[in-house]
A and B are shown apart, each in its own frame.
Chain A
């Protein structure tokens, strides 16, 4: 993994050197400025991409960071005579702080609301800076020691500085993309609840991402101020700044390291040249170019230029099958030992999880009411009940998706109530979902790796752990397939592996058998049984009795949110109240015969 990064970084450095060499050949001052602007906007794009591109939370407000960086550098120079060499790093700190201050309240919002709220920050800042009297601040010329104040007559110095900054930004992006940071963000983008349940601290990653992004954006904002020597609120906090960040990235390719760079390299010269040549005849041509660029990209190549060309290239090269190198060694998993209902697993009498009087109401509907039961170490506990009995709500209460109105969930002598799902996952409780929640555009292996991050601090070890988990559920040969292309039973097995990869002590399985054919059910039951025998305690929701009776050591029966019965399957299934709940009174007589 690290060797990959080094190689890619090498390519980036070489490209930067070549770019700089070309800039040395250019004589015209205006074109030199343009050559410096390309990396500047590429960096703004990268900063947007690091946050929005990977996490999927669209920010229309990156001008906040850009403008704060620009004004920090400018005001430090004007008021305190601090050189931009120090001003830019200080600006980055301001960017980190702004990222934290903006992110903290705004991450409570989703989708559209988030995008709109982000739009409001820079515009509010714009008016505040105008009101503060900073309508137009010029950077004073330092003729005695220009270099110490980052002031150069020759624009090519700025090209060099911008390129250094760009290489750093790309290195950061590369590091993020190739680590759990990027994968966690991608998981959040594709299915946030699933990421949270898999132990990803979604808020923490989003905060980290916006702070890194804010720092990068503020740095380049500061450089921009130094280059243009004058700062106005509309030029740095304006809509076009935020829009440009997003446009160069979308044009080049979201969530790719090179995307913003390619987008900037195409769009910035295009719009600048048109502006220079035609600006006096056709004012606003720049904006029209940017507008047309993204309209065309969305309609023709929504994934962006870089992925589009890459796909086209690989297609031309002839479809190469994805490497399945080390999976080939273990084609089929070790679940071959057939399920044997006769022999019971060893159940430890110690209580692993104690649910104590837990209740939850939605408005007037009491979804779960005063339910208490214990889960013993090593057992398979089945939770059954008719539709609407509150089974899934119970799981959501146990893994922290919804807080209970009353009651306790004791685990290792601590109360889990009030913890976020990722914290509960970290303590050793994994879960799967009734409606499968894959990360559809990641490979099976990546899906499972996301789960493994909790258990392993080292990325390579996490990958090994994920492969092992896939092995245990018999999915090793599908590791490189995109999750979006799996069959139902494979999706469920993958989700099981993802939960397993966090090395849980307790697994909550929500209707893992739903929608499966009879052979698939056999496959699934065998896997679950093998897991239980390997020492994982399992709580499984199911409403088909047959499967449950074969699998579970004990059953808990819910009806209308209440605990109806509890005990070994053979007793529970004969319980009159259970039969009544399932079949209604009329059938009681028939059922008992």
Chain B
């Protein structure tokens, strides 16, 4: 009897881990893309996630997307939010990041890593605190009936073994996987995708081949932010958020991206998924307050023991 309860707990944690993990995977893909192409660690990625959340929230309410129903409405809002973030990302790159990245710094001392890290830290502070200014500190979320209802799988054994899949998380899972696949196809198949990979491989050589590296970087940065923004919009359907929420997720993203082998997009997705599983499974043995500490410890262990990532070739390539 009690054995079944344990098994059910484990299965439940596994299912939850996979569902949230895929969304983490998607945010990691955004960060991984930016790092993979630009070699910039974007400190502000969590804050762009936060912007994605608010964008989806306001679009959902403002555009009357509620009419599309609880399944489609929030998803459309998240995707539209990504469009806004794409524009915002491109603008930010143009105004700020382009000055410390790309050809301009190729070959300079440590390739300009120092100013890049600092600049994105500054952007992060401005976004998080500016968010407080604009959005207020009240926790919000995109309210649909889905966040508090679930599909039941089972009972599998007699009356005992059932796994519940939260509906909002399940929708988020599905959309995350689809968006990640779409991005993968775009990067590997399309002409723009090839440009990005060329610029990533060797910015100088790419310039000689007639590729506008700054433009490639701008596209990568904007897509990376938009992708993470979609993930934010999806998280917003089942997780209450406020302007400082970015910091909670940024470590998850770093952990996932490092786990996946820095710069590998596919790796980043699996890395994020693994972090989701670690987070949910840790609740079986650790108190809830230590859930996040567990992620940091796992993250530290990964960087210290296997900095090339679990899935990565040693390569720092897209």
Interface residues of A (CB under 8 A from B): 56, 58, 60, 105-106, 108-109, 111-113, 115-117, 119-121, 123-124, 127-128, 130-131, 190, 239-240, 243, 246, 250, 282-288, 290-295, 298-299, 302, 440-441
Q: Evaluate whether A283 and B292 lie within 8 angstroms (CB atoms) in the complex, with A239-B247, A291-B124 already known.
A: no
Residues of B within 8 A of A293 (CB): 122
Distance in Å from the Cβ of A58 to the closest Cβ of chain B?
Answer: 6
Q: Complex formed: what's the CA distance from A57 to B122 in Å?
A: 19
Segment at the A interface, from B12-20, B112-120, B177-185, B192-200: B112-120
B126 touches A291 (CB 8 A): yes
A-B contact pairs, 28 of them (CB 8 A): A109-B303, A109-B304, A111-B110, A113-B262, A113-B307, A116-B258, A116-B303, A121-B296, A121-B300, A123-B251, A123-B292, A123-B296, A246-B118, A283-B137, A284-B128, A284-B129, A285-B129, A285-B133, A287-B128, A290-B125, A291-B123, A291-B126, A291-B130, A293-B122, A295-B96, A295-B122, A298-B122, A302-B115
Q: Evaluate whether A119 and B304 lie within 8 angstroms (CB atoms) in the complex, with A288-B130, A298-B115 already known.
A: no
Q: Evaluate whether A288 and B126 lie within 8 angstroms (CB atoms) in the complex, with A105-B304, A112-B41, A117-B300 already known.
A: yes
Number of interchain pairs (Cβ within 8 Å)? 129
Name B132's closest neighbour in chain A (CB-CB). A284
A58 touches B117 (CB 8 A): yes
Interface residues of B (CB under 8 A from A): 41, 96, 99-100, 109-110, 113-115, 117-119, 121-133, 137, 243, 247, 251, 254, 258, 262, 287, 289-290, 292-293, 296-297, 299-300, 303-304, 307
Name B316's closest neighbour in chain A (CB-CB). A112
Distance in Å from the Cβ of A361 to the closest Cβ of chain B?
Answer: 17
Distance in Å from the Cβ of B9 to the closest Cβ of chain A?
Answer: 21
Q: Evaluate whether A287 and B287 lie within 8 angstroms (CB atoms) in the complex, with A109-B304, A116-B254 already known.
A: no
Q: Evaluate whether A288 and B125 lie within 8 angstroms (CB atoms) in the complex, with A58-B114, A120-B251 already known.
A: yes
Residues of B within 8 A of A298 (CB): 100, 115, 118-119, 122
Q: Evaluate whether A294 and B129 lie within 8 angstroms (CB atoms) in the complex, with A105-B304, A127-B296 already known.
A: no
CB within 8 A of A113: which of B100, B124, B131, B258? B258
CB within 8 A of A295: which of B109, B126, B128? B126
Q: Complex formed: what's the CA distance from A60 to B251 in Å?
A: 12
Distance in Å from the Cβ of A540 to the closest Cβ of chain B?
Answer: 29
CB within 8 A of A294: which of B110, B113, B119, B131? B119
Residues of B within 8 A of A240 (CB): 125
Residues of A within 8 A of B113 (CB): 111-112
Residues of B within 8 A of A440 (CB): 109
Q: Complex formed: what's the CA distance from A335 to B289 in Å?
A: 71
B130 touches A284 (CB 8 A): yes
Distance in Å from the Cβ of A516 to the closest Cβ of chain B?
Answer: 22
Q: Complex formed: what's the CA distance from A383 to B194 in Å?
A: 44
CB within 8 A of B296: which of A56, A120, A130, A288? A120
The winner among A124, A282, A302, A440 for most chain B CB atoms within 10 A is A124
Residues of A within 8 A of B258 (CB): 113, 116
Name A106's closest neighbour in chain B (CB-CB). B304
B304 touches A117 (CB 8 A): yes
Q: Complex formed: what's the CA distance from A240 to B121 in Å?
A: 10
Residues of A within 8 A of B41 (CB): 112, 115-116
Name B297's closest neighbour in chain A (CB-CB). A124
